[in-house]
Amino acid sequence: MQKLADGLHKFQTDVCRGYQDLFQHLARGQRPEALFITCSDSRINPNLITQTQPGDIFIVRNVGNIVPPYGASNGSEAAAIEFAVAHLGIKHIIVCGHTHCGAMRGLLDLNGLDELPAVKSWLQHAELTRRLVQENYSHIEGENRLTITVEENVLAQIENLRTHPTIRARLARGELSLYAWVFKIETGQVFQFEHSSGQFAPICEAAPPSALPETTVYRRAV
């Protein structure tokens, strides 16, 4: 806790002064550009990854960056999505998974989660991911299997997003774009799913973020 307390003191005495104008502006309301749905993992920092400021992105975090299908959960995800899209007018939604994800590792071995019943129950919302991997990637093992699970899970959550009424309505009008990203912790790279190739590729200056079309985006089994 001392590290957190020291950081808070530094923020209040040094950093905050340089943000006074921004904070005064944000006190009057927020107009974020994108909704960023990602994992609760402490190694993921959406503002650091995207180099954004307070007020730029609306963030939803949970174990495994999961978006339950509409009506399937009493959690806050549906409320946050509805608020971001219908009230704030957000036009871009990013689902961002990450390498070495403990939630996805647990999804591959649900029997090992008996001592974590709440986690095991939550991961039921990722059953589509588990079945996709089990039925299409049985020949892949180890860390490669985990990476594929992370990628397939991001795509599965994109499909779940499309079950939400506010999402479907705006997609139909061409007023909303969806993006599937994976953050590689060990290198800092971010990969996006490219529908044309059916694969994840690095986002760079030559290949800026590209939105997904309004079609199913599951990868072809390899």
Q: What DSSP string runs through 188-199?
A: TEEEEEETTTTE
174 confidence band (pLDDT: 50, 70, 90):
very high
pLDDT of residue 215: 61
212 confidence band (pLDDT: 50, 70, 90):
confident
Cβ–Cβ < 8 Å for 200, 191: yes
Q: Could you tell me which of 3, 22, 170 has the C-alpha nearest to residue 84?
A: 170
DSSP assignment letter at 214: S
Q: Judge residue 161's burial from the number of C-beta atoms within 10 Å of its C-beta, 0-12 exposed, 13-18 middle, 19 or more buried.
A: buried
pLDDT tens by residue, 13-58: 888 888 999 999 999 999 999 999 999 999 999 999 999 999 999 9
The Cα 220–Cα 200 span in angstroms is: 12
Question: Does residue 118 surpass a pLDDT of 70?
Answer: yes
Higher pLDDT, 215 or 156: 156
pLDDT of residue 72: 86
pLDDT of residue 195: 86
The Cα 113–Cα 20 span in angstroms is: 46
Question: Does residue 129 surpass a pLDDT of 70?
Answer: yes
Per-residue pLDDT, averaged over 192-210, amounts to 86
pLDDT over 90 for what percent of the chain?
82
Per-residue pLDDT, averaged over 199-209, amounts to 84
Average pLDDT across the chain, whole number: 92
pLDDT tens by residue, 61-114: 999 999 999 988 778 999 999 999 999 999 999 999 999 999 999 999 999 999
182 confidence band (pLDDT: 50, 70, 90):
very high
Q: Could you tell me which of 86, 89, 62 has the C-alpha nearest to residue 76?
A: 62
pLDDT of residue 219: 58
The Cα 170–Cα 151 span in angstroms is: 25
Cβ–Cβ < 8 Å for 171, 214: yes
> Could you tell me the pTM of the whole model?
0.93
Q: Could you tell me which of 135, 136, 129, 95 has the C-alpha nearest to residue 110?
A: 129
- Left (φ > 0), alpha (ψ -120 to 50) or beta: where does 55 sit? left
pLDDT of residue 217: 57
221 confidence band (pLDDT: 50, 70, 90):
very low
